[in-house]
Structure 1
Amino acid sequence: MKKIQGLGQYLNRHFKRVGQLSLFGLLTVTLLACSKNPEPQANGIHELRYQSLTGVVTLPELAEDLGYLGDVRLKYVGSVQGGPQDLQALTTGDVDVATAFDGAIIKLAAAGIKIKSVVASYGSDDKSWVGYFVQENSPIHSARDLIGKKVAVNTLGAHYQFVLKDYLAREGLTDDEIKQVEFVVLPPANTEQALRAGQIDAAALVSIFQDKALERGGLRKLISDTDLYGSFTAGSYVFTEKFIKEHPEVVKQYVTGVAKAVEWTKQTPREQVLARFKSIIEKRKRNESDALMQYWHSYGVVSKGGLLNAKQYQRWIDLFVKQGQFKPNQINADSLFTNQFNPYSNEKAQ
C-alpha cells in the first residue's frame, strides 16, 4: 500500500493541475484489477472509449469517418483539456486509449506504469506549430524578460510548458530563475482574451487559436517550438501493455486507421479536408462549432503514417537528465513505443 501511495505522490508532483479528476493513489490497483477492456459485440464490433477536444476532429475520429477503422468503433466519453488528464483517464481505466505529449508519456512510464505508444498523434511543422506570444507593445523581448511573468499554457506537465522551460534554460536562465516564471493553466479558447486583457504576460497558442488571434493583430511572437527543434512529432496515442496483449487485433486496426488518416490529410487538398471536418462535427451532434477547424493546416505528424522513433523520445529524456529529474540511462527510449501495428513500418524497413 505504501508503494502505491508513493507512486501517487510521484505522479501528482509531475502532473499537478487545478481540479484534477481523481487521485493517482489507486491507479496501480485499477490497472491490474479494474480495467474495463472492450468485449466484442454480437456483430463483431469493438468499442474503444476515448476523450477528445471540443470543436476539434482528431485523427482517430477522422479515420473512423473515412472507414479506416474496420470493426473498431470509437465511443466518446467526454472532453479533455490536455494530455496529462487523458493519461490519467487511461491509467484509471476510464478510457482505452489516450494521447499526450511524449514528455508526459515518458514520465508516466518512468513511474512504472506499463504503457506503450503505438502511433503519432500530433507534431509541429511549417504549417502547424506552437508559438509563444506577447502583446505587440510588451516589454518582453527575451527569455530573461519572462522572469516574474505569467505565461498561459493549456495544461501543466505537457508540451507547451516543457518547450518553454527548455527555451529558458537554453538562454542561460538558472533553475531558480526558471522557477520564477509562473505557468498559468487556461483553456485554449480563453487564452487570447486573457493575454489582450493583461491578465497574463505571454501565451502559448497553437495554429487554430494562433491564426485566429493573429488575424486580429496586436500580438508579437517571442519564440516557437519549431524555432528550437525544426519540424518534429510531439505526441503519440497510447495503450496500456495489458490492453495490447489482450486485444492486439483491435490495436492493429486502430493504428492502421490512424496511420492511413495521417497520409490522407497529407495527400488531400486542404479544402476537402476542411469540408470533411465540418461534416464530422455536424454528424456527431455535440453542440459545438466547427469554427476552429477552419483554421486547421496540418496535424504536424512528420513521419509517414505516424511512425514512431527513439529520437522523438530521447530529446525529452535528455532534457529530464539535464534537469536532474532522471538519472542517466534510467529509461530506454526504445522501450516506450512500438511500430509493430503500423502498416507503413514495412515500407520504412524496405
Structure 2
Amino acid sequence: MPITSQIRTKKTWLGVAAASALALSLAACSGGSSTAPAADEPAPAGNGKPEISELIVGITPVADQASVYIAVAEGFFEEEGLTVTPQPAQGGAALVPAMIAGDIQASFATYPSFLLAQAGGIDINIVAEGVRGNEESNGVWVKADSGIDSINDLEGKKVAVNTLKNTGELTIKVLMDEAGVDVSKVQFQELPFPDMVPTLQSGGVDAIWVVEPFQTAAEASGAKKLFANFSGPTDGVPLSGLGMTAEFVKANPNTVAAFIRAMEKANALLAENPDAAREIVPTYSSTTPELAAKLKLPKWVAGAASAKNLEVWNDIMVDQGAISAPVDMDKMVYVPGK
C-alpha cells in the first residue's frame, strides 16, 4: 500500500548513509557501563539518585530543539540532580554516531536517524519527544524569479537538505510521489542549514529545505515558499525527539528517568507557551531577537513519547527504501519502569 494511503488511514561528522555502518562497527563502544543488565532484561524503574550527573546532549541549533535549552535555563535538569551541556552539530546523522561512540550521552534528532541506527543493529531508546511537523515551521523554498512554481517543477532540479536520506528528503519524496513527480530526476544535495540561503541565492541549488530560524531568513532574502513538506499526508507527523543508546539506558536508569522528567517539564512549558522559544533561540543560534519574533514555530506537546505515534516513520522509511523492514517501535520507545 502506498505511504500516502497508509498515513491517511490513521547539523558535521558523518552522513546518514554511513550511520548504520558506523553503528555496527562501534557497537562495542556504545555509551554505557559494563554493569548494564543483559539485553533481554528491562531497565529498573529509575527512581533513585542519578548514576551519572553530567550529560552532553547533541543538538542542532534550530528552533525545534529549544526544549533542551529551556530545561537548562529553567533549572529543570538541576532540580533532577543533572548538569546538561548541549553540543551543536549539523544534524542527527552526525549526532547519533557520536552518541553510539560514547562522545555524547543523548542526541536530539529527527526520528529517521534513530531508525537508521536501529535497523543497522544498534539498539536505540527514544526517551522524549521533540516537536510535531506542521505547515508553518518548515518547507521547501526557491528564488522568487526561478520559474519554479510547483512541486512538479522540481524534476531535473537540485534540492538541498541538511542530511541525505533523512526527514527533509523523505517527506519531500512522499509529497513528490503523491504529485506524480519522477523522484529519480530530482538531485538531493546535502548542505548545512546556515549555508542554505546563500547557496540558493548564488544559484548553487534550485531549492532548499529549511526549518526555523532559517526559514524566516529565507523569507527575508526574498525567496518564496514552494510548499510545506509537513502537509497533506505528512501533516502532524512527529518530527524530532531525544534518543540514547539502549545500553546507556539500562546502565543508568535513574539518570535517564531524571532526564525524561526534566524534558517533559520543558515540553509542557513550550506546549502551553510556545513563544518562550522566541526568547531562548537567540541564545544558542545566530538568530537575532528581531528575527526570533518572526519565527513560525513548530508544535510542542506535553507528555511522553509514543510508539503508536512514531509508527508512521516505519511506513515512510520502508516505502521510500530507507530501511528494508520495519523496526520494533515498542522496543525503541523507553518508558521508565515499563
- TM more than 0.5: yes
- Counting only pairs closer than 5 Å after superposition, residues 198-277 of structure 1 correspond to structure 2 as 198-268=203-273, 270=275, 273-277=277-281
Answering whether residue 90 of structure 2 is matched by residue 86 of structure 1, we say: no
The alpha-carbon distance between structure 1 residues 273 and 131, as it changes in their structure 2 partners (threshold 3 A), is closer
The alpha-carbon distance between structure 1 residues 251 and 296, as it changes in their structure 2 partners (threshold 3 A), is farther
The residue type equivalent to 2:306 in the other structure is: N
Secondary structure at the aligned position of 1:49 is classed as strand
Q: Distance in 2 between matches of 1:333 and 1:246?
A: 21
The residue type equivalent to 1:259 in the other structure is: E
The residue type equivalent to 1:331 in the other structure is: V
The residue type equivalent to 1:204 in the other structure is: W
Secondary structure at the aligned position of 2:148 is classed as coil
Residue 27 of structure 1: aligned partner = 26
Residue 308 of structure 1: aligned partner = 305
CA displacement, residues 103-139 of structure 1 (integer Å, 9 cap, x when unaligned): 221121122211110111233235x522111122323
Secondary structure at the aligned position of 2:239 is classed as strand
Higher deviation after alignment, 222-231 or 255-264: 222-231
> Alignment partner for residue 190 of structure 1, among 195, 203, 212?
195
CA displacement, residues 25-72 of structure 1 (integer Å, 9 cap, x when unaligned): 63112128889x9xxxxx987000222335866322210210111211
Shift of 1:205: 1.8
Answering whether residue 48 of structure 2 is matched by residue 49 of structure 1, we say: no
Q: Distance in 1 between matches of 2:213 and 2:271?
A: 17
Residue 4 of structure 1: aligned partner = none
User: Kindly, what percent of the aligned residue pairs are identical?
Assistant: 23
The alpha-carbon distance between structure 1 residues 254 and 298, as it changes in their structure 2 partners (threshold 3 A), is farther
Q: Distance in 1 between matches of 2:93 and 2:24?
A: 15
Secondary structure at the aligned position of 2:76 is classed as coil
Residue 101 of structure 1: aligned partner = 110
Contact 2:268 2:302 in 1 (8 A): yes
Shift of 1:210: 1.1
Residue 7 of structure 1: aligned partner = none
The residue type equivalent to 1:300 in the other structure is: K
Secondary structure at the aligned position of 2:94 is classed as helix
Higher deviation after alignment, 160-169 or 136-145: 136-145
Higher relative contact order (CA 8 A, sep 6+): 2
Contact 1:14 1:157 in 2 (8 A): no
> Alignment partner for residue 320 of structure 1, among 299, 317, 320?
317
Contact 1:234 1:312 in 2 (8 A): no
Shift of 1:208: 1.5
CA displacement, residues 229-264 of structure 1 (integer Å, 9 cap, x when unaligned): 222321110011111111111111111111111121
The alpha-carbon distance between structure 1 residues 34 and 273, as it changes in their structure 2 partners (threshold 3 A), is closer
Q: Distance in 2 between matches of 1:54 and 1:318?
A: 28
Shift of 1:87: 0.5
Residue 338 of structure 1: aligned partner = 334
The alpha-carbon distance between structure 1 residues 151 and 276, as it changes in their structure 2 partners (threshold 3 A), is closer
Unpaired stretches in structure 2, ≥5 consecutive residues: 1-13, 37-49
Residue 153 of structure 1: aligned partner = 161
Contact 1:134 1:195 in 2 (8 A): yes
Q: Distance in 1 between matches of 2:147 and 2:62?
A: 34
Unpaired stretches in structure 1, ≥5 consecutive residues: 1-12, 38-42, 282-287, 343-350
| TM-score (norm: length of structure 1) | 0.76
Paired residues in the alignment total: 307
Q: Distance in 1 between matches of 2:52 and 2:178?
A: 50
Residue 68 of structure 2: aligned partner = 60
The residue type equivalent to 1:48 in the other structure is: L
| TM-score (norm: length of structure 2) | 0.78
Secondary structure at the aligned position of 1:151 is classed as strand
The alpha-carbon distance between structure 1 residues 337 and 269, as it changes in their structure 2 partners (threshold 3 A), is closer
